[in-house]
Amino acid sequence: HPFAKKVTTLPKARYGGRHAVTMLPGGGIGPELMSYVKEVFKYGGVPVDFETVQIHPTSDSNEDLEYAITSIRRNGVGIKGNIETKSLDTSVISRNVAIRNQLDLFVNVVHCKSYAGVAGQHQNVDIVIVRQNTEGEYAMLEHESPPGVVESMKVITAQNSERVARYAFEFARKNNRKKVTTVHKANIMKLSDGLYLETARNVAKEYPEIQHNDMIIDNCCMQLVSNPHQFDVMSMPNLYGSIVSNVICGLIGGAGLLSGRNFGDYYAVFEPGTRNTGTAIAGKNIANPIAMLNASVDMLEYLNLKPYANTIKLAVEKTINEDLIHTPDLKGNASSLDVVQNIIRHVQTLSVKW
Ligand code: ATP
């Protein structure tokens, strides 16, 4: 669009002094996790109203999906669970991918920071994953021709590689981080990952104060498992980003703890870091509510509602690190509601102090 470049930020939707945010609960444990977010917001007096959009997993129509995307465009901000796509029609693409692509949410950021109260495989991990979020292996350009031969295209563009590399280095600069590691497989995928790596190296030249190195994805996984403390900020193409996020989250406490942020130039969507559906544990009052609550804290920070974000963040930290109230995924025996009620108790005390 000819005017698109002139707009740097869109105003966030507000009505009567309150923010409007799109909520996409998704499947599995998504709806229960969202109900915890709403409950905590209620007790914290958070001035946010949710516009909830359900996307039906088996529907072949894209009506719900289009409505969800329009809602995020209107509000500028969304929070989501994992949306299932169960249509038997192979032309119906993943709703999660469609949302990211249509809103051009080109980067996904997962801050993998250990909780002192959680005994993971490694302690004191503090890694920021900056992942390309809209192309690479997720281009969804596959065909079978002739039968028995499937071709699947991986798309890497200079423009998106540069945007992600720049995001990683800007993030490092603003947050006083010392090193960016670009992860790739350029020894085999010479053109695609080669372009990603070369672009990162060029961007790195503009940030002389930040150390830049690169690592092949295979070695990266081994290094992560044996010595994750060598990493600071990591930048990588889409599929490697998904795998590496899962590896690091697994090392420091699993799928129930960390959040992920999706950003484009205009919109932001917040969700649990490893994007699980959790079908097997849905409705059992055992899902860990922390990952989605952390996503809500990220969202409040983005909306510049810092005191509310800080209150919930502190209440979560006290619950996990001091009270040690943990769900079964963290080897505790608390229910989801035990965790949420304890967080609410802290939110109430902290809110009075504010
Ligand atoms: P699917 O729903 O796609 O069929 P699944 O429910 O078996 O898969 P995933 O959603 O991929 O599994 O999640 C991976 C693992 O992480 C599962 O063991 C799931 O129970 C666990 N998990 C995901 N989110 C949470 C959470 N918030 N709290 C506790 N465990 C979780």
- pLDDT tens figures, 158-180: 999 999 999 999 999 999 999 99
CA distances in angstroms from 113 to 117, 177, 251, listed in the order given = 12, 14, 11
* Residue of the CA atom closest to atom 17 of ligand 1: 278
Q: Which pLDDT belongs to residue 58?
A: 80
- CA end-to-end distance (rounded Å), the chain: 44
The per-residue pLDDT for range 207-235, each reduced to its tens digit, is 999 999 999 999 999 999 999 999 999 99
* Residue 25 Cα to ligand 1 middle (Å): 15
Q: Which pLDDT belongs to residue 89?
A: 78
Q: Which pLDDT belongs to residue 56?
A: 86
Closest of 132, 95, 159 to residue 263, by C-alpha: 132
Structure tokens at 285: 């009052």
Please name the helix (run of DSSP H) or strand (run of DSSP E) that holds residue 181, with its range, or none: strand 179-184
Say which residues have a Cβ less than 8 Å from residue 264's Cβ, sequence separation at least 6. 103, 104, 105, 106, 107
**Residue 27 alpha carbon, nearest atom of ligand 1:** 2
Is residue 80 a contact partner of residue 269, using CB atoms and an 8 Å limit?
yes
Assess whether the C-beta atom of 34 lies below 6 angstroms from ligand 1: no
Q: Which pLDDT belongs to residue 141?
A: 87
Assess whether the C-beta atom of 29 lies below 6 angstroms from ligand 1: yes
Q: Which pLDDT belongs to residue 1?
A: 45
CA distances in angstroms from 244 to 29, 30, 127, 258, 294, listed in the order given = 23, 23, 11, 13, 19
Query: CA 134, CA 240: separation in Å to the nearest integer?
Result: 13
Assess whether the C-beta atom of 280 lies below 6 angstroms from ligand 1: yes
Instruction: Express the helix, strand and coil content of the chain in percent, nearest 5 each.
Output: 45, 20, 35
ipTM greater than cut 0.85? yes
Say which residues have a Cβ less than 8 Å from residue 117's Cβ, sequence separation at least 6. 320, 321, 322, 324, 326
Assess whether the C-beta atom of 277 lies below 6 angstroms from ligand 1: yes
Q: Which pLDDT belongs to residue 4?
A: 47
* Residue of the CA atom closest to atom 12 of ligand 1: 278
Q: Which pLDDT belongs to residue 244?
A: 97
* Residue 93 Cα to ligand 1 middle (Å): 21
Q: Which pLDDT belongs to residue 353?
A: 64
Strand, helix or coil at 315? helix
**Residue 28 alpha carbon, nearest atom of ligand 1:** 2
Q: Which pLDDT belongs to residue 77?
A: 97
Task: For CA atoms 101, 103, 105, 111, give the dihedral sign.
Answer: negative
pTM reported for the whole predicted model? 0.94
Query: CA 285, CA 342: separation in Å to the nearest integer?
Result: 15
Structure tokens at 278: 């959790």
* Residue 4 Cα to ligand 1 middle (Å): 39
* Low pLDDT (below 50) residues in the chain: 1-4
